[in-house]
Chains A and B, each alone.
Chain A
Amino acid sequence: QSALTQPASVSGSPGQSITISCTGTSSDVGAYNYVSWYQQHPGKAPKLMIYEVSHRPSGVSDRFSGSKSGDTASLTISGLHTEDEADYYCASYTNTITWVFGGGTKLTVL
C-alpha cells in the first residue's frame, strides 16, 4: 500500500492552467478507472473534485478536469482562480480491495 506519487508543489498565476500528476502502479491507477481527486483548504475537510478519472460532481467548476494514461492520472485546473490555492490529493482503488492516496500537492496561485 505505497502512496501514489504526486509532486510536492505546483504554482501558477491567475488565469493560467496547471496540471498535477499522480503516478501509481498496474495494481491501482493502471488497473482501474477508479481514480478520484480531492481539494483541501487549510483546516478544512477534503472535497471531492473528480471521480472515476474524469467525472465532475455536481457543483464543481468545469475548470477542473481529469484524465489518465497508463499508471498516471492527471488533474488539470484551467483559468486559475486565487481560491484554487489548496492541497490536492489523488486516490485510487487497488487490487487488494484497499484505497491509496497520493502524498498531496500544494497549489500556489501567485
Chain B
Amino acid sequence: QVQVVESGGGVVQPGASLRLSCTASGFTFSTYGIHWVRQAPGKGLEWVALMWYDGTNNYYADSVKGRFTISRDNSKNTVYLQMNSLRDEDTAVYYCARASGYGFSFLDYWGQGTLVTVSS
C-alpha cells in the first residue's frame, strides 16, 4: 500500500537549520511529485513546497522562499526539505504528501507528520 513517512523533526533555536525527510513506498516514486504542507499548533494547513517527479522543477510559498530548499533522491525514494534560518513562526507539524493529477494538483496520500519546534 502507498505510504509516505516523515522524519527529522525536533526542537531548534531561531536561526538554526534542520533537514526533514519524506520516504515513500508502495508506488513508483520517480513518477510522482511530493508536496510539503505544514500546520502550526491549533491552526490551519499551509502549503510549503512542491518538487516535481524528476526533480527538474520546484516551487515554494513566499513565506519560506529563500530559506527552505526541497530536493529528492529517487534512488532512495526520498524527498528532503532543508530548512535554514528558522523562525518562531516555522513551528508546525510538517506533512509530506504525494502529488497526483494534472500539474500535481491534489495531494492523495499524506504522512503522519513530523513536529518542528523553533524556540529559544
The answer to whether B59 touches A45, judged by C-beta atoms less than 8 angstroms apart, is: no
The answer to whether A36 touches B44, judged by C-beta atoms less than 8 angstroms apart, is: no
Instruction: Choose among A34, A44, A47, A99 the residue that contacts B35 (Cβ–Cβ < 8 A).
Output: A99
The answer to whether A98 touches B106, judged by C-beta atoms less than 8 angstroms apart, is: no
B 57-72 binary contact with A (CB < 8 Å = 1; else 0): 0011111000000000
Given contacts A89-B45, A98-B47, A104-B44, contact A1 B107 (CB under 8 A): no
The answer to whether A34 touches B108, judged by C-beta atoms less than 8 angstroms apart, is: no
B 86-120 binary contact with A (CB < 8 Å = 1; else 0): 00000000010100111101111111110000000
Report the count of interface residues on A (CB-CB < 8 A). 27
Q: Measuring CB to CB, which residues of chain A are less than 8 angstroms from any residue of chain B?
A: 1, 3, 32, 34, 36, 38, 40, 44-48, 51-52, 57, 87, 89, 91, 93, 97-104
Chain B interface size range: 20 to 34
Q: Measuring CB to CB, which residues of chain B are less than 8 angstroms from any residue of chain A?
A: 35, 37, 44-47, 50, 59-63, 95, 97, 100-103, 105-113
Given contacts A46-B37, A98-B47, 16 further A-B contacts (CB under 8 A): A32-B105, A34-B105, A36-B107, A40-B45, A45-B110, A45-B112, A46-B95, A51-B106, A91-B45, A91-B107, A97-B59, A98-B59, A98-B60, A101-B44, A101-B45, A102-B44
